[in-house]
């Protein structure tokens, strides 16, 4: 049987793990060596590979240890130019590259999602998306290296996946994101309902993730820039009409930075 589990690190990071009953395992964004090694040793895992979405240290900090201790193969993005040293990639991935992991009976396909960083990628399998710092539940990553327009296009690309796709984000930011979502769309009842649901999960010590893409389309303002309610709030803030959904995105992304 295949299972997907989170390893918690640095307070709000999730390092997602896919493993089978034999302990064959792959990791997504192993940012913290100590947390990853503890789980490998405690559960007697065989770390086959790690998949890296982008160059930030909280996603790459455990790479050296995995390579040195377990000879884990590191797959990651082709276009994080200038950050080759910290990623130590064995296999460089371009958009739509497909990696078969026979031990886990899954294949992962690369989706280029620039914006948070210039070379950020996401990994898609049949029913799952490992979205790194591009898509969060209720929100999206900060635009550090790309343009808001690029980030908007990246999120639109993810929106074309099936609605039942399970989104595995790299951070537990959901409740804070939903507070902002409610600020943008005060009359969206789905947001209020989802806040209650997420609060009960967190009270039980469980992650609010994964969440389906279909659910995100109901509550995540950054996937709802075409909705009148979101556009209205953005235009009120900007003080002028906004001509495109990408412009709405840029305004609410900036609002979130100061929320
Ligand atoms: Zn990041």
What are the pLDDT digits (tens) for 207-247? 999 999 999 999 999 999 999 999 999 999 999 999 999 99
Q: Lay out the sheet containing 3-9: strands in order across.
A: 3-9, 13-19, 24-28, 46-51, 73-77, 91-93
- Distance between CA 247 and CA 234 in Å, rounded? 9
Rounded to the nearest whole angstrom, what is the distance from the C-alpha of residue 207 to the centroid of ligand 1? 19
Identify the pLDDT of residue 164: 98
- Distance between CA 227 and CA 231 in Å, rounded? 6
Cβ atoms 123, 99 nearer than 8 A: no
- Distance between CA 250 and CA 198 in Å, rounded? 27
Rounded to the nearest whole angstrom, what is the distance from the C-alpha of residue 133 to the centroid of ligand 1? 5
Identify the pLDDT of residue 186: 97
Tokens for 144?
């550090």
Tokens for 20?
């089978």
Identify the pLDDT of residue 69: 97
Rounded to the nearest whole angstrom, what is the distance from the C-alpha of residue 200 to the centroid of ligand 1? 27
Identify the pLDDT of residue 219: 98
Identify the pLDDT of residue 206: 97
- Distance between CA 167 and CA 98 in Å, rounded? 19
Please identify every stretch of the chain with a pLDDT value under 70, giving residue numbers as ranges. none
Rounded to the nearest whole angstrom, what is the distance from the C-alpha of residue 219 to the centroid of ligand 1? 22
Identify the pLDDT of residue 216: 98
Residue 24: which residues within 8 A CB-CB, separation 6 or more?
45, 46, 48, 103, 104
If you search the block for the tokens 């993810």, which residue do you land on? 158
Residue 53 backbone phi and psi in degrees, to 5: -85, -35
Rounded to the nearest whole angstrom, what is the distance from the C-alpha of residue 52 to the centroid of ligand 1? 11
Rounded to the nearest whole angstrom, what is the distance from the C-alpha of residue 27 to the centroid of ligand 1? 16
Identify the pLDDT of residue 151: 98
Rounded to the nearest whole angstrom, what is the distance from the C-alpha of residue 30 to the centroid of ligand 1? 13
Rounded to the nearest whole angstrom, what is the distance from the C-alpha of residue 229 to the centroid of ligand 1? 29
CB atoms under 10 Å from CB of 143, counted, come to 22
Rounded to the nearest whole angstrom, what is the distance from the C-alpha of residue 193 to the centroid of ligand 1? 29
Identify the pLDDT of residue 193: 98
* Nearest Cα to Cα of residue 89 among 132, 54, 140, 45: 54
The three-state secondary structure class of 24 is strand
Rounded to the nearest whole angstrom, what is the distance from the C-alpha of residue 56 to the centroid of ligand 1? 5
Q: How far is CA 162 from CA 120, 128, 133, 166, 174, in A?
A: 21, 10, 20, 9, 21
Residue 130: which residues within 8 A CB-CB, separation 6 or more?
16, 28, 29, 51, 53, 108, 122, 123, 124, 168, 170
* Nearest Cα to Cα of residue 116 among 71, 85, 152: 152
Identify the pLDDT of residue 208: 98
Identify the pLDDT of residue 176: 98
pLDDT in tens, 130-155: 999 999 999 999 999 999 999 999 99
Identify the pLDDT of residue 197: 98
Rounded to the nearest whole angstrom, what is the distance from the C-alpha of residue 187 to the centroid of ligand 1? 31
Identify the pLDDT of residue 156: 98
Rounded to the nearest whole angstrom, what is the distance from the C-alpha of residue 173 to the centroid of ligand 1? 13
Identify the pLDDT of residue 187: 97
Cβ atoms 112, 8 nearer than 8 A: no
Tokens for 223?
């996937």
């Amino acid at each position: 049987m295949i299972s997907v589990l989170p390893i918690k690190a640095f307070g709000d990071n999730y390092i997602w793990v896919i493993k089978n009953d034999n302990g064959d395992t792959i990791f997504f964004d192993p940012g913290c060596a100590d947390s990853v090694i503890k789980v490998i040793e405690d559960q007697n895992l065989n770390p086959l590979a790690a998949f890296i979405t982008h160059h930030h240290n909280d996603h790459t900090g455990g790479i050296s240890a995995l390579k040195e201790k377990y000879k884990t193969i590191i797959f990651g993005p082709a276009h994080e130019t200038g950050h080759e040293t910290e990623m130590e990639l064995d296999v460089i991935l371009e958009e739509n590259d497909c990696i078969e992991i026979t031990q886990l009976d899954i294949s992962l396909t690369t989706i280029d999602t620039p914006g948070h960083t210039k070379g950020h990628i996401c990994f898609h399998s049949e029913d799952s998306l490992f979205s790194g710092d591009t898509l969060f539940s209720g929100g999206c990553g900060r635009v550090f290296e790309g343009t808001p327009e690029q980030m908007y296009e990246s999120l639109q690309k993810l929106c074309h996946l099936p609605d039942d796709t399970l989104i595995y984000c790299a951070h537990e930011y959901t409740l804070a994101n939903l507070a902002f979502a409610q600020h943008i769309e005060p009359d969206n009842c789905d947001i209020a309902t989802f806040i209650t649901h997420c609060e009960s999960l967190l009270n039980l010590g469980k992650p609010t993730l994964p969440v389906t893409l279909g659910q995100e389309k109901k509550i995540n303002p950054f996937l709802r820039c075409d909705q009148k309610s979101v556009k209205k709030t953005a235009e009120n803030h900007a003080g002028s009409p906004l001509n495109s959904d990408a412009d709405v995105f840029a305004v609410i992304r900036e609002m979130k930075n100061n929320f």
